[in-house]
Amino acid sequence: MSIVERLRADRNLPDEELKTLLESDRFDEELFKAADEVRRSVYGTEVFLRGLIEFTNYCKNDCLYCGIRRSNTADRYRLSKERILDCCKTGYKLGYRTFVLQGGEDPFYTDDVLCEIVSSIRHFYPGCAITLSIGERSEESYRRLFESGANRFLLRHETADEEHYAILHPGEMSLANRKQCLFNLKKTGYQVGSGFMVGSPYQTMHNIISDLRFLQELSPDMIGIGPFLPAAGTPFENFPQGSVKLTLRLISVLRLMFPHALIPSTTALGTLHPQGRELGLKAGANVVMPNLSPVEYRGKYSIYDNKICTGEESAQCKDCLRMRIESAGYEISDSVGDVRRVY
Ligand code: 5AD
Ligand code: FES
């Protein structure tokens, strides 16, 4: 059996073989084909859309790679509950059945404030999924938000290697706490997404293998990876961007290791390559997260430079994406797109 066939059959490989697969282009054709077959066997040709609402770019953290870190100069904004509900309304009309509330870690949004926002969305859109991507909070906070109607949570672990984590983050943040948050989220009942950046400063292949091993331990429902892109004004502004090829290979490897996972073809991938998102879908991804934020704020949510889709109206984004998804051989699903778990 070839190395790709073994990864597919066992959903696993020894470290050395994972490295071989990721470091060479010899297996690419076979790898992408196997990942696409597995994706089709679980999810058919469906692509799930998640309407992304970037509701605040205030952040109390100072991650060294991030353009909205607290020490970076940025034009800060917050969206009111009414404005957020407006975005949901626009999204619902366009067919979106998942809303992702993403923001920096902004203390303005206390549990009371956020629970009120979440329960209003739940009230107006009972059949929709509400995903939060708001960083590290207490177990109690995660529980209250869940009880208010949120049912999915995205929190990338960013890197599963302690030393590498300490290079990318300020001293007051820890990998241990990040992991604890992820396990708390699972325990609370959320569908949980994690993931990491590809090609972040000082990342080694050994780090990436640790990321895959951590994901096996966590067994998340969603896995988001995207290339690192430098952000102006940050300590890493002059570091090289991540590789499209390696990101695509990793998407395929993840699809073979986690056949049932929801894997987005990320905006970062689309930013790095004009057909990045189509290539991601062909490599095994099955989710796209178009921007639903009000156009006047989009440019301000600049976690990295040159982000795409910051000028388009939401309806234009949807049309553009439909074309891209269909040209890649898939179709937009109109379902809420829950994970198909294996028991
Ligand atoms: N390049 C690529 N991805 C980034 N993120 C943050 N900053 C960058 C960057 N400069 C990713 C992180 C975070 C997600 C919302 O965006 O992985 O979890
Ligand atoms: Fe905001 Fe990292 S800079 S969470």
Handedness of CA 225, 226, 227, 230 (dihedral sign): negative
Question: What pLDDT was estimated at residue 90?
Answer: 96
Q: Tell which atom from ligand 2 comes closest to the C-alpha of 68.
A: 3
Give the tens place of pLDDT for each residue, 134-189.
999 999 999 999 999 999 999 999 999 999 999 999 999 999 999 999 999 999 99
pLDDT at 338 over 90: yes
User: Residues 266-275, buried b or exposed e (16+ Cβ, 10 A)?
Assistant: bbbbbbbbee
Question: What pLDDT was estimated at residue 341?
Answer: 79
**Residue 99 identity (one-letter amino acid):** F
Distance CA 202, CA 65 (A): 12
**Residue 218 identity (one-letter amino acid):** L
Query: What's the CA-to-centroid distance between 288 and ligand 1, angstroms?
Result: 16
Could you tell me the CA-to-CA distances from 53 to 70, 175, 223, 303 in Å, in that order?
A: 20, 26, 19, 14
- Listed by start position, the domains of the chain span 29-333
Distance CA 261, CA 321 (A): 21
Is 68 near ligand 1, meaning CB less than 6 Å away? no
Ligand sitting nearest the alpha carbon of 173: 2
Residue length, the chain? 343
**Residue 235 identity (one-letter amino acid):** P
Question: Regarding the domain delimited by 29-333, which CATH topology (the fold level of the hierarchy) does it fall under?
Answer: TIM Barrel (3.20.20)
Tell me the whole-structure pTM to 2 decimals: 0.98
Distance CA 132, CA 128 (A): 13
Calculated CA dihedral for residues 65, 238, 54, 218, nearest 10 degrees: -40
From the list 163, 151, 157, 279, the residue with the least C-alpha distance to 225 is 157
Give the tens place of pLDDT for each residue, 41-79.
999 999 999 999 999 999 999 999 999 999 999 999 999
**Residue 291 identity (one-letter amino acid):** N
Distance CA 300, CA 237 (A): 17
Cβ atoms 280, 239 nearer than 8 A: no
Residue whose CA lies nearest to ligand 2 atom number 4: 61
Among 303, 305, 306, 307, the mutation site with the greatest number of ligand 1 atoms within 8 A of its Cβ is 303
